[in-house]
């Protein structure tokens, strides 16, 4: 069973959704048969490489949301994150374009480290105030993941993986995805948002049953018991 998750590393609900999905997957009886792939999505592709201002400044000025409303939103999301063991610090978030970070996730996937890269980027962005658009930071992260400095340098000296990121964008649009996180199971089932663990569990179970229907191997019924009692040979 394949699960694709469209997500942006600059999306606070994406990290919360990741935690809730992971909790459901950890308890799923067939988790070893599940292949998870992170797909790229950008909430604001027009964001410059470096934005001079806080996250509150950005959302209030560029998105036109009243500052008090933004602060209330931060408080709500921070509490939801805390419920998943995450320590959001919106006052320390560095606003940056996430395109190169998405390219790094594709690079990490080529080295079997996609989930580790996604986890670090989300945590460093929302909990540790790191600049996800900074070359030094992204290079350091790549090295931490066991990726060579030469491979990391290609993110800044070439357009490697840029087409892969754009293809994720295009596929997301083709599927009608307009917000993240968005979870797609076997290209049949879709879940939008950071759903409760129980919802993810139900979706995993339904998708598994759909992909692995029970087949009766005998055309005749054998003796069995039911709500009204047991069958009796006459």
Q: What is the pLDDT of residues 74-110, one digit of tens each?
A: 999 999 999 999 999 999 999 999 999 999 999 999 9
pLDDT score, position 229: 63
Kindly tell me the sign of the dihedral angle through the C-alpha atoms of 188, 211, 109, 88.
positive
- State the average pLDDT over residues 32-57: 94
Sequence-distant (≥ 6) Cβ neighbours of residue 2 within 8 angstroms: 34, 35, 36, 37, 185, 186, 187
pLDDT score, position 49: 83
pLDDT score, position 217: 63
Q: Model's pTM, two decimal places?
A: 0.91
Instruction: Judge whether residue 181 has pLDDT over 60.
Output: yes
Q: Looking at the domain that runs over 2-211, which CATH code has it been given?
A: 3.40.30.10
Which sequence spans correspond to the domains of the chain?
Answer: 2-211
Q: Is 43 in contact with 8 (CB distance < 8 Å)?
A: yes
């Amino acid at each position: 069973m394949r699960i694709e998750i469209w997500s942006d590393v600059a999306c606070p609900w994406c990290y919360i959704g990741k935690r809730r999905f992971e909790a459901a997957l950890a308890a799923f009886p067939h988790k070893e048969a599940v292949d998870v792939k992170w797909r790229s999505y950008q909430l604001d592709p027009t964001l410059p490489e470096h934005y001079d201002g806080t996250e509150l400044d950005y959302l209030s000025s560029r998105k036109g949301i009243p500052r008090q409303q933004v602060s209330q939103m931060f408080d709500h999301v921070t509490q939801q994150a805390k419920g998943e063991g995450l320590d959001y610090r919106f006052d320390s978030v560095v606003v940056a374009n996430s395109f190169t970070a998405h390219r790094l996730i594709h690079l990490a996937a080529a080295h079997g480290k996609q989930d580790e890269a996604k986890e670090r980027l989300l945590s460093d962005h929302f909990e540790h105030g790191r600049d996800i658009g900074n070359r030094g930071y992204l290079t350091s992260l790549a090295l931490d993941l066991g990726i060579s400095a030469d491979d990391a340098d290609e993110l800044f000296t070439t357009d490697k993986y840029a087409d892969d990121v754009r293809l994720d964008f295009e596929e997301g649009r083709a599927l009608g995805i307009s917000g993240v996180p968005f979870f797609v199971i076997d290209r049949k089932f879709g879940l939008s948002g950071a759903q409760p663990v129980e919802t993810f569990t139900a979706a995993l179970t339904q998708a598994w049953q759909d992909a692995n229907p029970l087949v009766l191997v005998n055309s005749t019924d054998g003796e069995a018991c039911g709500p009204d009692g047991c069958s009796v040979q006459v």
